[in-house]
Structure 1
Amino acid sequence: MNEKILKTLEFDKILSRMEPFASSTLGAEQIRTLKPSTSFEEVSMLLQETDEASTVLRLRGHAPLSGIHDIRPHLKRVAIGGVLNSAELVQIADMIRAGRTIKRFIESLLENEVEIPILEEKVNDIVTMSELEKEIRNAIDDGGAVLDSASDALRNIRQQMRRNERKIKEKLDSFVRSRNAQKMLSDAIITIRNERYVIPVKQEYRANYPGIVHDQSSSGQTLFIEPQAVVDLNNELRELALREDREIERILMEISANVSEFADDLQLLVDIMESLDFIFAKARFAKDIQATRPNINKKGVIHLYRARHPLIPADEVVPNDISLGQEYSTIVITGPNTGGKTITLKTAGLLTVMAQAGLFLPVSEGSETAVFQQIYADIGDEQSIEQSLSTFSSHMVNIVDILKKADEESLVLFDELGAGTDPQEGSALAISILDDVYKRGARVIATTHYPELKAYAYNREGVVNASVEFDVETLRPTYKLLIGVPGRSNAFEISKRLGLSDRIIDYAKSLINAESNEVENMIASLEKSRHEAERKYEEAMAHLKQAEKLHKDLVQQMSEFQSRKQELYEKAEQKASEVIEKAKAEAEEIIKELRQMRLASGAGAKEHELIEARRRLETAVPQMGDGQETVKSNLKARSFKPGDEVKIATLNQKGILLEKTGQHEWQVQAGIMKIKVAEKDMEFIQSEPKKEPKPLASIKGKDYHVGVELDIRGERYEDALRKVEKYLDDALLANYPRVSIIHGKGTGALRTGVSELLKRHRAVKRIRLGEAGEGGSGVTIVEFR
């Protein structure tokens, strides 16, 4: 895309604003060289990577990208056998750490199932190179100093140097602290000249300190002397320093050689980190300007909702809706100067360029823009002083070039088309140019102040008028774009508000031809209709919000009703359970009384009959439903008769009709109980005739298949006691006078538990441990009443 066009649309200023969001010079360089793409697939990919980075920032708030350096020059040097200095090696270690950190960071997001395929692919190619980083870190600190740990030889050399320095300082300290030091020395300090330790001696006492003079003060009154007593030590120290330099050089050479082995991986790392820095810079910039991801298409369709120019401060910019390429392919914006026409033009062009560069746009969600092969613009005064061209001529040079190249895959922007020449000729020329570009299939936005172009859109299919609103009350433009409404000059209204007499204004109006008056009246009518439509729209929105609120309240009330309904059902269920439990308790009490009566009189019900009755009573406990079924009578238009099997709905229990006790009431045999039940609480059961039940008294042990012994050895304590209790009931039903319970000897816990249970049992007459031939203490003999 033409560099001149990008500058005209101020894309370079966008890049300058985005550059500070890069974390390194690599990312900043990528931003400076960013160009819009004309490939639909590439633009989709660029927007997708920005979207993924935005997702990461939204979830984590940041991306760890510190420690990125441009190490490409270092890699070139090691590739030809050069040696890197310690600072350069630290930068390489920083890059390796940065790559490892961002790789781990992205992988942690992937573990949480965040969909970021482009970022995932990039970090997958990062080679961690931990050993190389460790080698550098062990040899060089973050400040670039080579550590003693870099090699044993370096450690030994430095240890010797420290010993020598200690000896030198001790000897020089004796001079500095001597009795004559205050008189003979300029200052009681030890200093360094020419990398050798010296003391400052006054000129007149030179003879008192034999040694080598290395320097003197500017006044000549002080000599910096290396006393003879430390010359040898200083010589040794100097030799050690040279050895240290050689060892450091050897260490750096060795590490540099290792770096060269990883040159390809490091070069790939640079490329990846540069790309990641650039991608996250785009995401940070999008967050800063409150931008969203636009949809893109190949159809030349633009729908920008609440579009804002990104270079205008947020508290000043006016959002506008800009649509083009669907119902109409050309927009002609008319109206007076300084009304905001050019800003609207630039906003449409700049946002299109930004989208094709993979940047998010300051628009509302759901906005859409097309991928154009070319964007052409003739905006502003392009007068060329060198060529001595007039404003009109310079514009026409640009327009001629545009007309040579524009096609159906182009977006063309004309600012003040036809300006700078005779109005009649200029407007005619503007109409002809617009017609030509329209026939080529290009998408066009043009601004003009010519009134003749106001009627242009009404006579051309695919062309629409637009204007930028002007508030006559405040005499200020609102910068609000009005699609479908041509602009008015407002000259008469403005003049009137500024105090010009009605006489002069009326005379001026009379000088305007009838056609112009009709156009102005038409525009005024359109504006009135628009304001009325906006008022009705606001009213409709108010009704919609009220309806939405009412719907929300109804949904909430329904939810509360359902919750309350369930709560009431649960309470009813609980109450029913309490009634049933009470009935069970009463039935148990009745059985207990019957047993006592039998014991007292020796007649009446037998024990096995009572046990069977209790068992049937337990199975008579109703099962509560799920709250969704309603109890209802099911007479099914038939009369009940004795012998019918029915379901007692209130108890969820089956029974047999015995006889009618009232007009709508029956006596029902439910288990061992006879109860009176209203017909409305009964449901007829369609089932086969039941066989006559066997009399309880006739049930014998063979019917129950129960033996005279129960073995509970190896059972858990609670399970064993449950088995014993059930076995006793079965043995009683079988009419056994005596049974044996085998519990084993063991720790005695099971025997004790069984014994306690038997002592409490109502039907047990006597218990004892077995005799020698019966199993001894491992068996308990039970005799029934």
Structure 2
Amino acid sequence: MNLLADKKVYEILNMEVLLDKINPLSPYGMKEKREMRSYRPGDEEALEREYDLMDYLEVHYTSKKLFSVLTHAKDISESIYRAEKGEVLTTVELFEVKNFSMLVEKTRSIIEENCPFDEIRAESLKDIVRLLDPDEEGLNTFYIYDSYSKKLESIKKEKNNLNRKIKEIKTEIKNSLKKDYDVRINLKGDISLNKTEAELIDKMDKDSRIYPSSESGTGITYSIKNTAKIDGMIVDMNSLKVLEEEEEYRIMAKLSEKIGECSDRFYIGFKAIGKIDLVLAKLREAKVTSSIRPEIIKEHKITIDEGRHRKTEEALNKKNKSYVPVSVKLDRPATCITGANMGGKTVSLKMIGLVAAAGALGLHVPCRCCTMGLSENIFISIGDEQSVEKGLSTFGAEILNIKRALEKADERCLILIDELAGGTNPVEGYAITKSIIGYLADRNSISVVTTHFDGAAGEGVQKLQVAGLKDADMEGIRRNLTENPEKGMDIIGENMDYRLIAADSISQVPRDAINIAELMGLQEEIIDSANEILKGSDIVEK
């Protein structure tokens, strides 16, 4: 899969929640999924065509006929490759080639001839169907038909005559034995006697037409001997079998040669069925996740209306809780999101990355509507996701990761940074955060930075704030907490407004951290002191 970013970024964004729901039904569809490409700037027309194809096939996404085709399609690519190289296919392979060819013809009957999408138009394999079904039975079976060769037909006819004559001779012997001994003979021509029948056993031991073929503690079984005439016929039969196998191999070689000559049409068929399968799987995923087609633009801007981070949404749904969709417009190089912990900043950041990555893969995106320009790459830095495998501290690993993103900041990327410099002291952290945001504000990428430092965003930076408890009924929350102290965090969470709002001035920024601390019962004198300190804070007033 050609991705915009390394796998770690996709793991952080929880892309698997979308990708794992894309389940093609055929091996060709699975191959197409593995080879999915990411669309980058300059690929807008190709991506729009991908979405147009999805719209075109949407009428078929529950089609039972196509479902049948896709679930019955076997991977015959190795057989076609072998035929192309001049190898002889087995009868099982020829059966699978016939079955695939019939499925292609069924697909062609469903997809209109004037379909504007070449990538889902398979070329006709009617000639292969006729080749492997010379008697036009129309069945999903295959064998070496007599009609392939007069010689083969003659050999089989002679074999049948010999079988009939051998059967006649053995029937004549069976009838004579019944008459002579008045015994029961089974279909195989065997006579079973109890050892108490000593007189009859003595007679049969002397009869040249039969021989004792098996014996147990209580019984003995006699079988009919082949006569010299039967033995001669068996020799002839074995000779005919050799001739039959040679002729069948010659026929299979000829069939394989003709199939090999049509290999290009088979490869087109593999691609067409795989593409149809993948698109239908993507449409099923879109229905399950209530996702929509984004509008693709050439400008590097992203507007998301009521976007949802699917993993978080699914987790909340399992707890019978509702997810609050988030809207955001990213039309400047840098955006800064502030708000306290529990405010959903990280989830919003992941949602932005998820929507951008999904759109770049040609998937429908989980939001009410979306307009997006394509990015060359996606970078994400989340504090608790950092790698310290190189022996660095969490802060060191974070800076190393951000450094890589900044090196690409002029290459039209999407850069997402969560709680920048949260692992160092506040004064230095504020300085680094403000400097990096200022650097990104003058670059050719879309950058979104979340931070606790309310004054870190300078001129030209879009300032957003998690609404949080801004309009919450604080008295009502206090009463609820007093009555249900064990549900403290849940009660606060249920009253948090996770939507993003403009925060163009410091006075608009709600102090949710102090509000939450107060609601959770932190001592009043500490809350009062914190508010006094906050009034004169150098960090937030700069």
Q: TM-score range by the shorter chain?
A: 0.7 to 0.9
1:135 pairs with 131, 138, 143, which one? 131
2:296 partner SS: strand
1:358 aligns with 2:362: yes
Contact 1:78–1:257 (CA under 8 A) maintained in structure 2 = yes
Q: Structure 1's 456 and 426: CA in aligned 2 closer, same or farther, altered over 3 A?
A: closer
Contact 1:496–1:505 (CA under 8 A) maintained in structure 2 = yes
Superposed CA RMSD: 4.1
- Tell me the equivalent position of 1:94: 99
Contact 2:386–2:394 (CA under 8 A) maintained in structure 1 = yes
Q: Distance in 2 between matches of 1:61 and 1:329?
A: 49
Give 1 or 2 for the bigger CA radius of gyration.
1
State the TM-score, normalized to the length of structure 2: 0.76
1:481 aligns with 2:499: yes
Q: Distance in 2 between matches of 1:426 and 1:182?
A: 109
Aligned pair count reads 491
Contact 1:418–1:429 (CA under 8 A) maintained in structure 2 = yes
Q: How many Å apart are 1:374 and its aligned residue?
A: 1.5
Deviation string, structure 1 residues 734-753 (Cα, Å, up to 9, x no partner): xxxxxxxxxxxxxxxxxxxx
Contact 2:339–2:468 (CA under 8 A) maintained in structure 1 = no
Q: How many Å apart are 1:123 and its aligned residue?
A: 5.7
Deviation string, structure 1 residues 106-125 (Cα, Å, up to 9, x no partner): 327x5xxxxx63x2x3466x
1:72 pairs with 57, 72, 77, which one? 77
- Tell me the equivalent position of 2:248: 248
2:380 pairs with 365, 377, 381, which one? 377
2:251 partner SS: helix
2:20 partner SS: helix
- Tell me the equivalent position of 2:485: none
- Tell me the equivalent position of 1:516: 534
- Tell me the equivalent position of 2:465: 466
1:410 aligns with 2:413: yes
2:327 partner SS: strand
Contact 1:300–1:370 (CA under 8 A) maintained in structure 2 = yes
Deviation string, structure 1 residues 160-217 (Cα, Å, up to 9, x no partner): 44454455556656659956999999x94529xxxxxx88899997956869999979
> What are the ranges of 5 or more consecutive residues in structure 2 without an aligned counterpart?
478-490
- Tell me the equivalent position of 2:431: 428
- Tell me the equivalent position of 1:190: 188
Identity %, equivalent residues: 22
Q: Distance in 2 between matches of 1:99 and 1:216?
A: 55
2:25 pairs with 23, 26, 32, which one? 23
Q: How many Å apart are 1:267 and its aligned residue?
A: 2.6
2:304 partner SS: strand
The farther-off stretch of 417-426 and 306-315 is 306-315
Q: Structure 1's 168 and 327: CA in aligned 2 closer, same or farther, altered over 3 A?
A: same
2:243 partner SS: helix
> What are the ranges of 5 or more consecutive residues in structure 1 without an aligned counterpart?
111-115, 192-197, 523-785
Deviation string, structure 1 residues 226-251 (Cα, Å, up to 9, x no partner): 72235444444444433332232222
Q: Distance in 1 between matches of 2:152 and 2:279?
A: 44
1:455 partner SS: coil
Contact 2:120–2:273 (CA under 8 A) maintained in structure 1 = no
- Tell me the equivalent position of 1:556: none
Q: How many Å apart are 1:71 and its aligned residue?
A: 3.1
2:384 partner SS: coil
Q: Structure 1's 156 and 380: CA in aligned 2 closer, same or farther, altered over 3 A?
A: farther
- Tell me the equivalent position of 1:400: 403
Q: How many Å apart are 1:373 and its aligned residue?
A: 1.2
Q: Distance in 2 between matches of 1:219 and 1:427?
A: 98
- Tell me the equivalent position of 2:36: 34
- Tell me the equivalent position of 1:267: 267
Q: Distance in 2 between matches of 1:213 and 1:400?
A: 92
1:103 pairs with 102, 105, 108, which one? 108
2:100 partner SS: helix
Q: Distance in 2 between matches of 1:388 and 1:217?
A: 80
Deviation string, structure 1 residues 6-55 (Cα, Å, up to 9, x no partner): 3432335533321x2x2311111111221312122332222222222225
Contact 1:296–1:369 (CA under 8 A) maintained in structure 2 = yes
Q: Distance in 2 between matches of 1:97 and 1:444?
A: 52
Larger RCO: 1 or 2 (CA < 8 Å, sep 6+): 2
Q: Distance in 2 between matches of 1:181 and 1:469?
A: 105
Q: Structure 1's 123 and 336: CA in aligned 2 closer, same or farther, altered over 3 A?
A: closer
Q: Structure 1's 516 and 258: CA in aligned 2 closer, same or farther, altered over 3 A?
A: same
Q: Distance in 1 between matches of 2:37 and 2:349?
A: 20
Q: Distance in 2 between matches of 1:317 and 1:506?
A: 33
